[in-house]
Structure 1
Amino acid sequence: MAAQISSLDVPLFPLGTVLYPGGQLQLRIFEPRYLDLVRECTTNGTEFGVCLILEGAEVGAPAQPAAIGTLARIVDFSHRADGLLGISAEGGNRFRVLRTRARPDGLVRGDVQLWPDEMPQPVPVEFALLQIILERLIETMGPHWRHAPRTAYEEAGWLGFRLAELLPLAREEQQQMLEMTDSLQRLAALRDILPRFQKA
């Protein structure tokens, strides 16, 4: 496992999906606790943590978050047609949750230990098919990645995280891909999963 570095205190946003480093996240904000989270992050220029929900739901009582998550930085706001606040966020470092505490309003805060970025690795030739598959997925499902430079497809970490976002993985598989610390191991796991989708 990768060495761990500094720790910090962040508000946590448990979700029914996984955010990967470099990924993009669109959220509707309507609960007071998450409006407070957005206010805190924008006022202080800080990030919040996104964790997959293990038990519970995105609304209502505090949900139990996965131990490994991803920091998210708010990059844009929008006023949605339904009158709610919309935010766009980008995924940053991964982290491990050391301990959590819930406020009376249900907002969960966590003391988290940051993971370092993965070392860049070129995509070996045996994974060239994954590059082709990602290009096709982006054409139909990930238009925000259409202008990614060709060099991005040559980097194993970027390729693996984008495939994990766009392939119809089970939530447990999404989390497994997040928790892997070797980008080539992640590509191998994704390659082994592909036949399941080709038969569908």
Structure 2
Amino acid sequence: MQADDSWLPLFPLKTVLFPDGILPLKVFETRYMDMVRECMRRNTPFGVVLIKSGQEVGAAAEPEAVGCLAHMSDWDMEKLGVMTLRIRGGKRFRIVDTRVLPDQRLEARVEMIPADDDIPVSDIHVACAKTLKIVIDDVNAKGRTEHGESFISPFSQPIQLDSASWVANRWCEILPIPLKARQKLLELEDAQSRLSIIHQYLLQHKIL
């Protein structure tokens, strides 16, 4: 696919966003407040990328080559100077070129990575989906007990336990694995490969 001529604003973070993933963000740096406002004004996403080297604050960090579009689904500013966002992961992209703006924000020209084929969970991986449902139900039940009506599930809706892509991506988000490993899973071309690795991990750690 050809790279788009426009520049995508990037938000380098010490986390990995997956398609259909939900990520709460607190934005307090002026440069990112400006970026978020501009995206809101234009109704466009920004890109979330894992930091390869550098920090979230200060000078522009070096990003990993593959990231995920972030669509804002909700925002608030309960405290002056701190904006809270709830973003949802969109399509994956590969960085073709980057530039650093005077305020140390990163922008990139990117090429979009085709979305995973919407294939069902195979028979061998059904246990992954069933166990994920147990985890989701448990997290949601505890959340409702602790927070009542104000609780918002950290899992994207609708729940798609029959989708190999959705199941694989949710496991990638919640497993206690290093960020580099999470990034490698994001970069895998297809959901079936991602889910196969997850399946082996769950077996090895006696989760299945």
The answer to whether the superposition gives a TM-score over 0.5 is yes
Distance in 2 between the 1:13 and 1:77 partners?
Answer: 16
The structure-2 alpha-carbon separation of the partners of 1:55 and 1:88, relative to structure 1 and needing over 3 Å to count, comes to same
For residue 136 of structure 1, what is the aligned residue in structure 2? 134
State the AA in 1 paired with 2:189: T
For residue 175 of structure 2, what is the aligned residue in structure 1? 167
Tell me by how many angstroms 1:144 deviates.
Answer: 3.5
The structure-2 alpha-carbon separation of the partners of 1:36 and 1:82, relative to structure 1 and needing over 3 Å to count, comes to closer
For residue 166 of structure 2, what is the aligned residue in structure 1? 158
The structure-2 alpha-carbon separation of the partners of 1:38 and 1:83, relative to structure 1 and needing over 3 Å to count, comes to closer
For residue 111 of structure 1, what is the aligned residue in structure 2? 109
**1:141–1:166 CA contact under 8 A, matched in 2:** no
TM-score (norm 2): 0.86
The structure-2 alpha-carbon separation of the partners of 1:146 and 1:43, relative to structure 1 and needing over 3 Å to count, comes to closer
State the AA in 1 paired with 2:196: A
Instruction: Tell me the matched-pair count.
Output: 194
Tell me by how many angstroms 1:22 deviates.
Answer: 0.7
Name the % identity: 35
- Structure 1 unaligned segments of length 5 or more: list them: none
**1:5–1:115 CA contact under 8 A, matched in 2:** no
Tell me by how many angstroms 1:27 deviates.
Answer: 0.7
Deviations 1:131-175 (A, max 9, x none): 1221122134463438634xx101101110011111112101111
Distance in 2 between the 1:83 and 1:193 partners?
Answer: 42
**2:51–2:64 CA contact under 8 A, matched in 1:** yes
Deviations 1:51-83 (A, max 9, x none): 001111111111111000001111111124586
Deviations 1:168-198 (A, max 9, x none): 1210111111111111111111111224543
For residue 179 of structure 1, what is the aligned residue in structure 2? 187
Structure 1 runs, 4 residues or longer, greater than 6 Å off: none
Distance in 1 between the 2:156 and 2:68 partners?
Answer: 23
Return the match for 1:90 from 88, 91, 100: 88
Cα RMSD of the aligned pairs, angstroms, is 1.9
Q: 1:21 aligned to 2:19?
A: yes
State the AA in 2 paired with 1:198: K
For residue 99 of structure 1, what is the aligned residue in structure 2? 97
Tell me by how many angstroms 1:128 deviates.
Answer: 1.2
For residue 34 of structure 1, what is the aligned residue in structure 2? 32
Q: Tell me the SS of whatever aligns to 1:61.
A: coil
- Structure 2 unaligned segments of length 5 or more: list them: 141-152
For residue 9 of structure 1, what is the aligned residue in structure 2? 7
The structure-2 alpha-carbon separation of the partners of 1:102 and 1:147, relative to structure 1 and needing over 3 Å to count, comes to closer
